[in-house]
Amino acid sequence: SAVISQKPSRDICQRGTSLTIQCQVDSQVTMMFWYRQQPGQSLTLIATANQGSEATYESGFVIDKFPISRPNLTFSTLTVSNMSPEDSSIYLCSGANPGLPGLSTDTQYFGPGTRLTVL
């Protein structure tokens, strides 16, 4: 299984600022995803991070608010821009290698999450 780390683990930010969250995987993964977990809620997919091209965003999420980079197969960043208190959430990244022989097909492994509080 892949081991995924995230930095920072938590942060407290001021309204109007931006925060970039880093996600590092210990092995190459084909697909990486970013999720948001609002307080007391389930996980909602923000976007699929595509290597070498623009991320694919889910309905309700836009690139200007959540720009994503994925420079290689082991690393991705998510930026939460122009933050407001409504952005206070846990942000999780995940990685998966769907369909590759010998690997866990379509199993997503999650990072520990970044707990963001916006004041």
Partner 1 sequence: AQSVTQPDIHITVSEGASLELRCNYSYGATPYLFWYVQSPGQGLQLLLKYFSGDTLVQGIKGFEAEFKRSQSSFNLRKPSVHWSDAAEYFCAVGRIAGGTSYGKLTFGQGTILTVHP
- The verdict on 28 binding partner 1 (CB under 8 A) reads no
What's the rounded Cα separation, in Å, for the pair 17 and 95?
A: 28
What is the CB neighbour count within 10 angstroms for residue 69? 15
- The verdict on 99 binding partner 1 (CB under 8 A) reads yes
State the DSSP H helix or E strand holding residue 44, giving kind and residue range, or none if neither: strand 43-49
Between 72 and 104, CB nearer to partner 1? 104
Q: Which two tokens stand for residue 84?
A: 């407001």
Q: Which residues contact 115 (CB under 8 A, 6 or more apart)?
A: 9, 10, 11, 90
x-or-dash pattern for partner 1, window 39-78, by CB under 8 A? --xxxxx--x-------x----------------------
- The verdict on 38 binding partner 1 (CB under 8 A) reads no
Residues in contact with partner 1 by CB under 8 A are: 1, 4, 31, 33, 41-45, 48, 56, 92, 94, 96, 98-99, 104-113, 115
